[in-house]
Structure 1
Amino acid sequence: MPHSAPRTGTDPDPVPAIAPRPDSRPGPTGSGNRPVPPGGTGPGTRTGAGPGAGRGTAGESARLRDALVARLDETGALTDPRWADAFLAVPREVFLRRGWFAPGPGPTGRPGFRPVLPGDPGWPAAVHADAPLVTQLDGALTAAEAVKTADADDGFVRGTPTSALTRPSLVARMLEHLDVFDGARVLEIGTGTGYHAALLAARLGDDRVTTVDIDAGLAGAARDALDACGLRPAVVTGDGADGVPQRAPYDRIVATCATRRLPDAWIGGTATGGRILAPLATGLGGCALVRLTVTRPGIAEGRVLRDDASFLPMRAHATPSWESLRAAAAPQAGGDGRTSFLPGRLRTDDARFIVGLTLPDVVAFRITGSDTDSPAAEPVESDGADPADGDGLYLAHRSDGSWAYARDDGRLTQGGPQRLWDLAERAATAWAAAGSPAPGDLSFTADGTRQTLSTDRLTWRLPAAGQA
């Protein structure tokens, strides 16, 4: 429902904490200070794998968690009963008390977001649906604050998503890919709402989990939500690219935000034999999960996983604004031309990831209203948006002023020292000639000086540390 004025009384109903306990004594299981899930069963006992699971729990929240775990079990996203217990233990709605933003076009047709708050119609089901939920815009705005400023006519606000709660099925797959063990020390990059850290702490115990976020507001709200659930992992405010060296080494590092290159601090902060799981993104909007094992100090090897993934970028790796890139664009080189390499060739996740690896310093925007004086531009990022929406694609180099604008009808204009659309076409052609390998066919190597992805026929080098 639209919101045109501030509201009160929108805090969610109280939910039971996972395991309220004094800080000074061990948790009830005696294993990693791990809490007991609601319903009275300990870790290792499957409680959500069938219709009758979780009968000891009370309230709608617990029933919806039972149903969520059953769905994840049925689809194969969740197979480890210890992670099932964690999902059952953590009341998801606690981490959404400030609401979220539902995307969609407003009455004018321009993209926007409708603030959704606790108590709105459909709230409980949406909280437990298998979908990502945008929880912050423009690095500060929450839904609870947005209802005070939302457009009085349509209830929409506009902005760039900067934090989101990942869809549960992807969270489950990532946690299982992490392959933790009892006693493992885990660092999470990107605290966000705190929900992912809560699952880790419910499985491993407070003292084994560290989570870091660059946004002090997010970190503080996450800490409050975790505390409300009886969980107290270490929540640190800082740049996730630096890791948290004072608590290193870690057996596992997991990132819930996309990066253009794995920060060296993550590799250096992981114990030998430890594992790193992170979303790797390109400026063209492609994203894939990579899983690496640190084989010796400074050296990590692994591969891209065959999982669909979409994550918001780390703040330092975010796409520059359209306005700033347009202002820095070099003059057009020659008159308008034409191309047979149409924007539709870059509308699949695989193409945007592979071609994006060849153009590591280039970002892409969807353009609408291209025949008007003021076209609208939306970044092509791994946010689930359809890059087919619009009239063409605009590529821009992050620093040298190069740009290219390819319209869906084949018209092409370019400028700057590099012909970006020509480079994209060559990259796509080379990829096709190599048999169009999927991202999941790529291996990954980091040797301390460079990071590369490769198949038996193609190799891509990620940006240098100072360029990421």
Structure 2
Amino acid sequence: MTDVPDSEWRSRAEALVSTLVERGDLVSQHWRAAFTATPRHLFVPRVLRLVDGGYRTLTGDGPGSREEWLSAVYSDDSLVTQHKPHAGGYRLPSGEPLHVPTSSSTMPSLMARMLETLDVRDEHRVLEIGTGTGYNAALLCHRLGDHAVASVDIDPDLVDTARDRLASLGYRPALVTGDGADGVAEHGPYDRIIATAAVPEIPTAWIKQLAPGGKILANVRGNLAGGTLCLLTKEDDDEVMGRFLPMGGHFMWLRSDVDNPHGPDEHPVEPVIDREGSRTTTRLDPVDLDDDGFRFLLQLALRRVRAIGRGRQPDPVDGGDREFVLLAGSDRSRAEVLIEPEPDGLRRVAQTGPRRLWDTVEATALLWHDLGRPTPDEFGLVANNDTQFVWLRHRDAWHRWPLPLV
């Protein structure tokens, strides 16, 4: 690893902390001290960046890249540190295989807001789901002492590397290789659980390993609305409840297979289109799909949709090049909506596969408007051994949607 003089990295860390404090991301003196004293470069010796035509690797030893690497490490950016080829065999325009990120160092401002929100106290024990580089575990060790920190990751190489990096700072928390959904029962119970990997529902093991009154902070999401962090409190022996936060945070999926870079229900599907599907029209502008509140509600109603994207293709009617919005389901359901309306104001819709995805989009749009266009932080979540569901505005309100979200 490149040797970085203390004076050089500390000045950069202090500058980053000053920025986080000015923005209101860092508030408590404890976390200010942790971010100032923890050398992020030690945990991110390599940064992977997607550039035109392929990927670029930044390291402190790379010719001409040391300054760029160090600037990236002490910037307020999320940094990809590991990736694997897409299972569908897709390639970039350059011909290089498309890769899926499998580990990263979280954006410092997001990590700071999450740690502040977690509200840890001196006597607390914390479980981190997703060890990754080990940087966040180091922050927790600085705040609580390594005896109070446990962390789990599916990737044994990541765990071993993080263990060495943490030990170089004198930290020896309990690091475990395993499925994060199982938690780490042998070191519990925990007063706080923080997940730096996304889940479609709350694993019951987390609830069991959480101490009474404890809290879980996690990114509970589907594929359509990524930045949905929720803070849950253990209300009784087997139930947690809380709200989604106005603070966004999008994490990679929690995985149970180290060799599979994809998340749940994210299997690659060949882009085969059945042109004999239904053709209808819609008054709904597909641009409305970009609203965060609508996307959040849509993922509750429309599961197993892998993506919403845009593209261009020849119009089947007149052959002209038209831009469209695409919804693709993991069950090969597909909906294409032309963005440009016809003279009568309607937009053409083509739907194929076992489900009519756009029909659900239209119904959800009507419901969203009827409910007053709620934002994600108006929703909450209940999870226990028997059921998990999302509620709107109050747990006992009429509207609720079952989990998981994929």
Which category describes the TM-score, using the shorter chain as reference length?
0.7 to 0.9
Q: Which residue of 2 aligns with 1:117?
A: 59
Could you tell me whether the CA contact under 8 Å between 2:266 and 2:306 is conserved in 1?
no
- TM-superposed CA distance for 1:361, in Å, is 2.7
Could you tell me whether the CA contact under 8 Å between 1:364 and 1:393 is conserved in 2?
no
Residues 118 and 425 of structure 1, relative CA distance in 2, 3 Å threshold: farther
Question: Given residue 241 of structure 1, which amino acid in structure 2 is its aligned partner?
Answer: A
**CA separation in 1, counterparts of 2:276 and 2:102?**
35
Q: Which residue of 2 aligns with 1:431?
A: 368
Could you tell me whether the CA contact under 8 Å between 1:342 and 1:406 is conserved in 2?
no
4+ runs deviating over 6 angstroms: 153-157
Q: Check if 1:66 corresponds to 2:66.
A: no
**CA separation in 1, counterparts of 2:403 and 2:174?**
31
Q: Which residue of 1 aligns with 2:311?
A: 368
Q: CA RMSD in A?
A: 2.8
Gaps of 5+ in 1: 1-10, 16-57, 107-111, 141-150, 373-389
Q: Check if 1:187 corresponds to 2:177.
A: no
Worse-superposed segment, 280-289 or 258-267: 280-289
Q: Which residue of 1 aligns with 2:52?
A: 105
Q: Which residue of 2 aligns with 1:252?
A: 192
Q: Which residue of 2 aligns with 1:404?
A: 335
Question: Given residue 362 of structure 1, which amino acid in structure 2 is its aligned partner?
Answer: V
Deviation by residue 1:152-188 (Cα, 9 ceiling, x = unmatched)? x989773112222111111001001111111211110
Q: Which residue of 1 aligns with 2:101?
A: 161
- TM-superposed CA distance for 1:323, in Å, is 3.8
**CA separation in 2, counterparts of 1:369 and 1:186?**
48
Q: Check if 1:448 corresponds to 2:395.
A: no
- For 2:15, what is the secondary structure of its paired residue? helix
Q: Which residue of 2 aligns with 1:51?
A: none
- The TM-score normalised by the length of structure 1 is 0.74
Alignment length (residue pairs): 378
Matches within 5 A, 1:138-153: 138=84
Gaps of 5+ in 2: 87-91, 257-261, 316-321, 341-346
Q: Check if 1:137 corresponds to 2:127.
A: no
**CA separation in 1, counterparts of 2:161 and 2:323?**
40
Q: Which residue of 1 aligns with 2:165?
A: 225
Task: Find 2:177's aligned residue among 237, 241, 259.
Answer: 237
- For 1:425, what is the secondary structure of its paired residue? helix
Task: Find 1:395's aligned residue among 327, 331, 350.
Answer: 327
- For 1:160, what is the secondary structure of its paired residue? strand
Residues 213 and 336 of structure 1, relative CA distance in 2, 3 Å threshold: same
**CA separation in 2, counterparts of 1:429 and 1:194?**
45
Q: Which residue of 2 aligns with 1:378?
A: none
**CA separation in 1, counterparts of 2:154 and 2:325?**
31
Could you tell me whether the CA contact under 8 Å between 2:277 and 2:353 is conserved in 1?
no
Q: Which residue of 2 aligns with 1:296?
A: 236
Q: Which residue of 2 aligns with 1:324?
A: 269
**CA separation in 2, counterparts of 1:95 and 1:226?**
9
- Identical columns (%): 39
**CA separation in 2, counterparts of 1:459 and 1:101?**
43
The structure with the largest strand share of the pair is: 2
**CA separation in 1, counterparts of 2:50 and 2:203?**
31
**CA separation in 2, counterparts of 1:237 and 1:85?**
29
**CA separation in 1, counterparts of 2:121 and 2:374?**
33
- The TM-score normalised by the length of structure 2 is 0.85
**CA separation in 2, counterparts of 1:311 and 1:395?**
21
Q: Which residue of 2 aligns with 1:33?
A: none
- TM-superposed CA distance for 1:133, in Å, is 1.0
Q: Which residue of 2 aligns with 1:351?
A: 294
Could you tell me whether the CA contact under 8 Å between 1:283 and 1:319 is conserved in 2?
no
Question: Given residue 24 of structure 2, which amino acid in structure 1 is its aligned partner?
Answer: G
Question: Given residue 101 of structure 2, which amino acid in structure 1 is its aligned partner?
Answer: P
- For 2:309, what is the secondary structure of its paired residue? strand
Q: Which residue of 1 aligns with 2:281?
A: 338
**CA separation in 1, counterparts of 2:303 and 2:28?**
37
Q: Which residue of 2 aligns with 1:79?
A: 27
Deviation by residue 1:209-233 (Cα, 9 ceiling, x = unmatched)? 0110111122122122212222111
**CA separation in 2, counterparts of 1:80 and 1:244?**
28
